[in-house]
Amino acid sequence: MPTVASPIRDTPANLAGWQSVQLDPNEEGSSAVVAGMEEYALTWLSSADISHDEDFSPLYSAESQDFSIHSNDPGSYIMTVNKVSKVHR
């Protein structure tokens, strides 16, 4: 996630760049990047196999069949994505 989120990090270069993008009414703006991050995370997570019988800490819990990724950059973004089994043991 940190690599995908690099365009929205709170840096002087990014702030200047997004200010210039926001001036152009034909540009989608930073919300398009955030939507792309969400699509990337959900697509990647949907490919995770959560049918294992052993834990892969801290990402996967076999007991709850829960696969979680948490990423943040202080002052910029926080993103948590979870994949859980529909059937609990």
**Is the model more confident about 62 or about 2?**
62
Pairing of strands 66-73, 60-61: antiparallel
CB 29 within 8 A of CB 18: yes
% of the chain beyond a pLDDT of 70: 85
Which residue's structure tokens are 């702030």? 15
% of the chain beyond a pLDDT of 90: 0
Instruction: For residue range 20-42, list pLDDT tens digits in order.
Output: 877 888 877 777 877 888 888 77
pLDDT at 12 over 80: yes
- The pTM score is 0.55
